Amino acid sequence: LAESMGMKVVYWDVIPKLPMGNATQISTLNELLAHSDFVSLHVPNLPSTKNMFGKEQFALMKKGSFFLNASRGNVVVIPDLAAALKSEHLRGTYVDVFPTEPGKNGENLFESELRGCPNTLMTPHVRGSTEEAQAMIGEEVASALLKCINEGSTYGAVNFPEVDMKKDGTMTTHRLLCIHENKPGVMSAINNVFTEAKANICQQFL
């Protein structure tokens, strides 16, 4: 994405890694900070990464650069980031993880030293955490349940085989959803039941 916007991408990691696209690996973190206009942090939550970005690291960044953290909340010293923004050493920041995550609606208001800082954008880390997303998820789940009950469709299921047959427009047929263990002979036994009932099978979806 960054390359498509005309940006030159460099990266640093604790171990050598093959680059993606035209990215170039930098030998040290300090070198990367000194040459980057945008610094995006992507690290796991480990004892070695706790508070890995603080006053020293922000001071090494280029004046007027931007800092993005969408990894883990405890890898950045938030007061030091706020100080770098207020002093205008950093031009702006984007953060969606925090040492203390916001509570749900009706609980304690979200407090952070980043509130009120210039050019600061804060969002939920999980897209489904917003009020709009929760409402859409409720509608989607209800619609999926109705489709499963009325049509036998399991489209979108994450822990169940997906079956999504086209609905018969004549409204003169019936649909049977059969759930069974994957054992030889089961489908033959089911078809025998239909045969004995003299039922016509229009189509099967396995």
Catalytic sites, residue numbers: 72, 101, 125
CB 32 within 8 A of CB 11: yes
Interatomic CA distance for residues 50 and 114, integer angstroms: 19
Query: Which tokens hold the place of 104?
Result: 């749900």
Short-list 82, 87, 32, 89, CA closest to 59: 89
Interatomic CA distance for residues 151 and 161, integer angstroms: 15
Phi and psi torsions of 74, nearest 5°: -95, 10
Interatomic CA distance for residues 63 and 28, integer angstroms: 19
Query: Which tokens hold the place of 183?
Result: 């054992």
CB 90 within 8 A of CB 58: yes
C-alpha pair distances (Å), 136 with each of 66, 102, 156, 204 = 32, 21, 15, 32
CB 61 within 8 A of CB 39: yes
